[in-house]
Amino acid sequence: MNYTRREILKHIGRGPRPGPWLADRLGLSRNAVWKHIEALRERGFEIETGEEGYELVGVPEFGGAAVSYGLAAPYEIRYQERVESTNDIARDLAAAGDSDVVVLADEQTGGRGRKDRTWRSPSGGIWMSILLRPDLPPATVPLLTLAAAVAVVEAVAEVGVEARIKWPNDVLVESPDGSEAKLAGILTEMAGESSRVAWVVLGIGVNANVDESAVGDGATTLRALVGDVDRRQVVQQLLETFHDLAEDTDRILPAWRAHASTLGREVRVDTGSETIRGTARTVTDTGALVIETADGERTVHAGDCEHLRPV
């Protein structure tokens, strides 16, 4: 959404504002104000015209304009109802030189998970990819992935869901019987050289307003846990928390530790080349997992982690 429309919404969201007042304030003609108001109405904003002027009385439920409105993070939201994969679109935007863009969709037809797995993404979910060009060495990019997981946990907490992070970035919900179901996942893709990151795409999938049966085994959804949620609010909260952490990377690990359920647990990590079993002790400054095994300590930078129940 452009600056002028954001400003108009800000003013008319505070109470009725006469057209001439808005025109004066924003340096526009009255006709231009009217055109912007009409365009906002077409995007789903409910704007009443009364004696005292224009007043915002309703915000669209979801979409680019809805998420942009009132968002306290500097991202441009590009929304499409149905896409193959928001990560693919974000990668194309990266190749075109864009940054600080969030690609958001209601449905993905070719959602991708880690290790080339399919990520089921029916209509009603939160499927999004954040494109950044951070001024960070490549070794610290995993921290952004951890920040994204923290942001998801804190956003779903606002709608009453207590989730925890399984190293590195699976967001899980624990049942009373101790079993865990996956609520959200993160797929990070990047390009750059050994000393500099060119771009990072953080693909975040939150199973939101969808049936549990539509997301597959071992997964759960916000709908199943608490009923349908305001996706606009969840996305805004998530992006704002993520942005704050990305701006102050020293806060990421303490926040991650506070929300993680892996530390102190018996784990089995499949790195692709070997399987390491032991007790997860800590994470390093770059987010690698330190495991105490029968043969001593091992540090794992990436892999599939499984929480093992105590024997």
Binding flag, residue 243, ligand BTN (CB under 6 A): no
Binding flag, residue 68, ligand BTN (CB under 6 A): no
Burial readout 39-49 (b: 16 or more C-beta within 10 A, e: otherwise): ebeebebebee
Q: How far apart are CA 64 and CA 279, in angstroms?
A: 44
Binding flag, residue 209, ligand BTN (CB under 6 A): no
In angstroms, what is the minimal distance from the CB of 45 to ligand BTN?
Answer: 26
Q: Give the residue nearest to ligand BTN (CB).
A: 185
Binding flag, residue 192, ligand BTN (CB under 6 A): no
Site size with ligand BTN, rule: CB under 6 A: 21
Q: 101 vs 187, which CB is nearer to ligand BTN?
A: 187
Name which position in 64, 203, 278, 287 contacts ligand BTN (CB under 6 A): 203
User: Given the rule CB under 6 A, which of 6-14, 179-187, 210-218, 222-230 is the region that contacts ligand BTN?
Assistant: 179-187
In angstroms, what is the minimal distance from the CB of 181 to ligand BTN?
Answer: 13
Write out the binding residues for ligand BTN, residues 97-136 only, by CB under 6 A: 108, 111-114, 117, 119, 121, 127-129
Paired tokens of 45: 């904003």
Binding flag, residue 262, ligand BTN (CB under 6 A): no
Binding flag, residue 79, ligand BTN (CB under 6 A): no
Name which position in 8, 45, 71, 86 contacts ligand BTN (CB under 6 A): 86
Torsion of CA 59, 64, 65, 71, to 10 degrees: 80
One-letter-per-residue 3-state SS of the chain: CCHHHHHHHHHHCCCCECHHHHHHHHCCCHHHHHHHHHHHHHCCCEEEEECCEEEEEECCCCCHHHHHCCCCCCCEEEEEEEECCHHHHHHHHHHCCCCCEEEEEEEECCCECHHHCECCCCCCCEEEEEEECCCCCHHHHHHHHHHHHHHHHHHHHCCCCCCEEECCCEEEEECCCCCEEEEEEEEEEEEECCCCEEEEEEEEEECCCCCHHHCCCCECCHHHHHCCCCHHHHHHHHHHHHHHHHHCHHHHHHHHHHHECCCCCEEEEECCCCEEEEEEEEECCCCCEEEEECCEEEEECCCEEEEECCC
Q: 12 vs 187, which CB is nearer to ligand BTN?
A: 187
In angstroms, what is the minimal distance from the CB of 149 to ligand BTN?
Answer: 10
Name which position in 186, 234, 253, 260 contacts ligand BTN (CB under 6 A): 186
Q: 219 vs 288, which CB is nearer to ligand BTN?
A: 219
Name which position in 63, 142, 205, 278 contacts ligand BTN (CB under 6 A): 205
Q: 56 vs 237, which CB is nearer to ligand BTN?
A: 237
Strands 289-293 and 164-166: unpaired
Residues that bind ligand BTN (CB under 6 A): 85-87, 108, 111-114, 117, 119, 121, 127-129, 170, 185-187, 203-205
